[in-house]
């Protein structure tokens, strides 16, 4: 089997930076003899996350999980960021934090703060409960003027709630599905006269998807490696399915050991192998080595 691997697979710059910071936090905590924690999942890749846990990084979902007797600790904020109130709690507990959130998410947060400062309401287009959506919604304490839209019903409700006279700024989660972003922004623009649309979808994801579509249409199958919880991985699989009818989403090489998957793959002569932005290049190469043998 021939395997095509585009140049841009592997970690994006946001994930690379977060992991470098994680290594630094672990090293500093060892030097200082104090524990270190990461608020949130660090990144969407279970193997990478468990490697960091083994190195000494404790994963927590809230500051309250740090035992009250611990007076000194280093806290890393994960790639998806966290609400402002969480940063406040970390500081109130007397802990030092390192912000590992991606610059793209911080840019969207700045847009939210600017809009609120100018008395505009903010609509966040995001997946309900996703950690980045929680971060964006919690950017400011002025949360009365920040509204979440995640589906058609919430869109209708939010439009009804915003007074006619109010100006609105629309931002979105970096991995929000582009087709939904277009649909919801157009509907908001039609309903609210003074609407500013900020396209905050991650450019890296869009560039990767667009550069893969030619390969996808020229191969027998497409395999996307990434976590099933990762929005950019799911978006990529869904986008590429418009160009190839055999798109598979796998978490890692262990998914290839299933004999049904092997049988299915043996039909193909040429496969495009690509990844979500939290998948290490090593994992892509390992899957490639195994595919060549199918
Ligand atoms: S996918 Fe984009 S937004 Fe998410 S961490 Fe990577 S660069 Fe940042």
> What confidence tier does 263 reach under pLDDT thresholds 50, 70, 90?
confident
244 Cβ closer than 6 Å to some ligand 1 atom: no
- End of a domain among 75, 101, 127? 101
200 Cβ closer than 6 Å to some ligand 1 atom: no
Q: pLDDT (tens digit, 9 = 90+) per residue, 113-134?
A: 999 999 999 999 999 999 999 9
Judge if 214 and 141 occupy the same domain.
no
107 Cβ closer than 6 Å to some ligand 1 atom: no
**CATH assignment at residue 154:** 3.40.1010.20
**CATH assignment at residue 71:** 3.40.50.11270
Across 261-282, average pLDDT: 91
Q: Above 80 in pLDDT, residue 293?
A: no
Find the 202 Cα to ligand 1 centroid distance in Å: 6
Nearest to 133 by CA among 144, 119, 149, 118: 149
Across 197-210, average pLDDT: 93
Q: Above 80 in pLDDT, residue 294?
A: no
205 Cβ closer than 6 Å to some ligand 1 atom: yes
Find the 68 Cα to ligand 1 centroid distance in Å: 34
Give the pLDDT of residue 73: 97
Computed over every residue of the chain, the mean pLDDT equals 94
Across 64-81, average pLDDT: 95
Contacts 24+ apart (CB under 8 A), 65-72: 65/37, 66/35, 66/37, 66/93, 66/95, 70/35, 72/32, 72/34
Across 195-216, average pLDDT: 94
Contacts 24+ apart (CB under 8 A), 184-188: 184/125, 184/149, 184/155, 185/125, 187/155, 187/159, 188/123, 188/149, 188/155, 188/159
> pTM, whole model, 2 decimals?
0.90
Residue 60 belongs to domain spanning: 13-101
- Atom of ligand 1 lying closest to residue 12 CA: 6
79 Cβ closer than 6 Å to some ligand 1 atom: yes
> What confidence tier does 93 reach under pLDDT thresholds 50, 70, 90?
very high
Structurally, the chain folds into a number of domains equal to: 3
Give the pLDDT of residue 265: 87
Nearest CA to ligand 1 atom 5: 14
Judge if 239 and 254 occupy the same domain.
yes
161 Cβ closer than 6 Å to some ligand 1 atom: no
> What confidence tier does 247 reach under pLDDT thresholds 50, 70, 90?
very high
Give the pLDDT of residue 142: 78
- End of a domain among 162, 197, 232? 197
Give the pLDDT of residue 52: 97
Judge if 190 and 210 occupy the same domain.
no
104 Cβ closer than 6 Å to some ligand 1 atom: yes
Nearest CA to ligand 1 atom 6: 14
Nearest CA to ligand 1 atom 8: 14
């Amino acid at each position: 089997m021939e395997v095509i691997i585009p140049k841009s697979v592997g970690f994006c710059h946001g994930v690379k930076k977060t992991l470098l910071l994680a290594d630094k936090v672990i090293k500093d905590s060892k030097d200082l003899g104090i524990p270190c924690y990461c608020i949130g999942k660090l990144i969407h890749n279970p193997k990478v996350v468990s490697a960091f846990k083994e190195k000494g990084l404790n994963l927590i979902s809230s500051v309250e999980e740090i035992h009250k007797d611990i007076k000194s600790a280093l806290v890393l904020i994960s790639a998806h960021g966290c609400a402002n109130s969480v940063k406040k709690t970390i500081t109130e507990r007397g802990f030092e934090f390192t912000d590992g959130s991606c610059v793209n998410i911080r840019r969207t947060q700045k847009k939210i703060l600017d809009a609120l400062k100018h008395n505009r309401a903010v609509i966040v287009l995001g997946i309900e409960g996703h950690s980045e959506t929680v971060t964006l919604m919690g950017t400011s304490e002025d949360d009365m003027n920040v509204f979440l839209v995640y589906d058609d019903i919430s869109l209708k409700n939010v439009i009804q709630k915003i007074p006619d006279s109010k100006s609105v700024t629309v931002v979105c989660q970096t991995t929000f599905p582009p087709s939904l972003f277009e649909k919801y922004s157009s509907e908001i623009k039609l309903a609210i006269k003074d609407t500013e649309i900020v396209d905050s979808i991650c450019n890296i994801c869009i560039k990767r998807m667009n550069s893969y579509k030619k390969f996808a249409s020229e191969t027998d199958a497409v395999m996307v490696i990434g976590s099933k919880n990762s929005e950019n991985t799911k978006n990529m699989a869904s986008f590429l399915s418009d160009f190839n009818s055999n798109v598979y989403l796998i978490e890692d090489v262990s998914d290839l050991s299933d004999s049904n998957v092997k049988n299915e793959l043996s039909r193909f002569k040429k496969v495009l192998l690509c990844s979500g932005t939290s998948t290490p290049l090593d994992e892509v190469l390992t899957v490639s080595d195994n595919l060549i043998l199918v």
